[in-house]
Structure 1
Amino acid sequence: MKRSLPELSHPQQPLVMVTAYDFPGARQAQAAGVDLILVGDSLGNVVLGYDSTAPVTLGDIIHHARAVRRGAPDTFLVVDLPFGTYHTGVTDAMRHAVRVVQETGADALKMEGATPEVLDVVRVLTRNGIPVMGHVGLMPQTATAQGGLRVQGKDDESARRTLEGALALQEAGAFAVVLEAIPARLARLITERLDVATIGIGAGVHCDGQVLVYHDLLGLYEGDEKKIAKRYAELGRQAREALQTYAAEVRAREFPTKDQSFVMKDEVLDKLY
């Protein structure tokens, strides 16, 4: 059964959230028993080869979210609204949000920021029955305006802006807020001040839950270690070694063997000569 929203508010046991971008990744996440799956616009970096999340389109996110829903039909699914899909007014945002929900089966949508314009969108979506997860701290969609991909909330102004943004998102109707790349003590304070759940990434252990990017935690890219992520496997290295072994066996005519080949009767073959 999918999780209901009330279960996500300050759970006694921290929530486990992971990104997924395709059917096999979602299937593995659901089998592992994660609480939430996020189809993040990080797919631009880790799947589509972009150098940021900004080029990800609504069509991209819908395509991948549909595959994820097929792979994880019973897991609470959150889908990112890409850059530009909720920045041009409430009417555009509502239209794009409805399309994502209708075409993907998403349980909730996620948006970055707490500007007045974003808060207006959160209010309208939630009033119309579309749950919204907020996002403060480092916001990859607009990281350039934040001085790049770096920790936020380290000075007085930035810390207060992050706290006030999280509180404003809650007031606007967000059911949870992602805290990305902020000091652990600030994340703890925000978590204590909010009634809704906080989901941390690079925000310390005191959040109500944690989220990691699928490719980061599985080590699918060699040498791409990030401070905010822990590598629980080295699948990138294992995949490269497997491919190298396959290539060597093909070139040495060691693959395929009889185990991977089919046979035919001699009399059938003789008729072909």
Structure 2
Amino acid sequence: MRTSIADIRAAYLRGERIPMITAYDYTSAQLVEQAGVPMILVGDSLGMVVQGHDSTLPVTVDDMIYHSRAVIRGCATPMVVTDLPFLTYATETDALRHAARLLAEGGATSVKLEGGRPVAPTVRRLVQAGIPVMGHLGFTPQSVNQIGMRVQAKESAAARELIEDALALQAAGAWAIVLELIPAPLATAVTAQLDIPTIGIGAGPGCSGEVQVWHDLLGLFSDFVPRHTRRYRTLAEEITSGLREYADDVRSGAFPTEKNSAAMDPAVLAEALYGLDRSAETEG
């Protein structure tokens, strides 16, 4: 049975820290489940990590549905939360239509959207329609052209606004809020103000849980290590080494071998070749 919001709520009330992984495909979802992680975020960060864009802005609802389906097929127990992409919730009507598709077609348990008080009415409308919503405050990647890619809410006024945004999202019915790239003491204070879980990324240890991107945790990027992550493995080096060995073996003839091949009865092959005159074909 898939992890529910009620399950996460119960863990939060017991004081348990809640891990979450951002992943985008069938294989990674399988491994996340095997590791016992209860929540997967299908993030619009796939625009950069999978598609190679320099931001999340080009990602479409169809992209999110495609990747959500792949993740759902790969796991049976983690909750799956899917991002609403850029400008797909500009109006309540847009939000309802696109969020409904993420649940009905993508199989998501919940949607996630960015923003505070300006989107609170949209959050309320989605929740009223039966669509669970996770909020997202602090560094909001869909606003990167306005706010830049840096730590947010470092000044008192901005910090106060973020707290008020979090309270507004909670009042609107959000069941959890991601806090990204904000000062750790502020994240701790926001968490203390709320009665719903906070999921941090680059927000310090005071949140109710943590979300990190699959590729960051496992070292699948060779050129950039975000400060807010920890590399538990360096798989890019292992993968490159393995691929290099494979290519060398193909070039040298060391792979494939008879052990990697299917056998055939010589008599069957002889029958198949009987009567073929290759020399005549060559002369022709």
Question: What's the TM-score, normalizing by structure 2?
Answer: 0.92
Amino acid across the alignment from 2:58 = P
What one-letter code is carried by the residue in structure 1 that aligns with 2:128? R
Structure 2: segments with no counterpart, 5+ residues: 275-284
Give the partner amino acid of 1:119: A
**Contact 2:152–2:181, Cα closer than 8 Å, also in 1:** yes
Aligned 1:170-209 pairs, distance under 5 A: 170-209=170-209
CA contact (8 A) 1:178 1:200 kept: yes
Over residues 31-89 of structure 1, what are the superposed CA-to-partner deviations in whole Å (9 max), with x where a residue is unaligned? Answer: 111111100001001001111000000000000001111111221110100001001x1
Asked if structure 2 preserves the Cα contact closer than 8 Å seen for 1:134 and 1:177, the reply is yes
Shift of 1:262: 2.1
Aligned to 2:131: 130
Query: 2:5 & 2:257 partners in 1: Cα distance?
Result: 53
**2: CA distance, partners of 1:99 / 1:211:** 24
> Which position in structure 1 is the counterpart of 2:101?
99
The aligned amino acid for 1:56 is V
Question: In structure 2, what residue type is equivalent to 1:129?
Answer: G
Verify: 1:228 aligned to 2:233, yes or no.
Answer: no
Q: Which of residues 5, 9, 26 is equivalent to 1:23?
A: 26
Give, as a single letter, the amino acid of the residue that structure 2 aligns with 1:202. G
Contact 2:135 2:174 in 1 (8 A): yes
C-alpha displacement of 1:175? 0.3
Q: Is the 8 A contact 2:19 2:210 kept in 1?
A: yes
Q: CA separation of 1:61/1:255 partners in 2, compared to 1, >3 Å: closer, same or farther?
A: same
- The secondary structure found in structure 2 opposite 1:104 is coil
Letter in 2 for 1:96: H
Judge conservation of contact 2:64–2:106 (CA < 8 Å) in 1: no
Whether contact under 8 Å (2:102, 2:108) holds in the other structure is yes
Counterpart CA distance in 2 for 1:265 and 1:101 is: 53
| Mapped pair 1:121 → 2:122 | yes
Match in the other structure for 1:263? 263
Percent identity over the alignment?
49
Could you say which residue in structure 2 is the equivalent of 1:58?
Answer: 61
Q: Is 2:252 the counterpart of 1:249?
A: no
Q: Count the aligned residue pairs.
A: 270
Any idea what the Cα deviations from partners look like across 1:198-227, whole Å, max 9, x if unmatched?
000011111100000011101111132110
CA–CA separation in structure 2 for the residues paired with 1:153 and 1:270:
77
- The aligned residue for residue 139 of structure 1 is 140
User: Which amino acid counterpart does residue 205 of structure 1 have in structure 2?
Assistant: P
> C-alpha separation between the residues in 2 aligned to 1:64 and 1:270?
48
Superposed CA RMSD in Å reads 1.3
Q: What does the per-residue CA deviation read over 1:5-42, in whole Å, with 9 as the maximum and x for residues that have no partner?
A: 23333341100100111111111111111111100001
CA distance in 1 between partners of 2:117 and 2:164 (Å): 11
CA–CA separation in structure 1 for the residues paired with 2:3 and 2:258: 49
**CA drift at 1:165:** 1.0
Instruction: Check whether the contact 2:117–2:168 (CA below 8 A) recurs between aligned residues.
Output: no
What secondary structure, in the 3-state scheme, does the structure 2 residue paired with 1:179 have? strand
Contact 1:8 1:196 in 2 (8 A): no
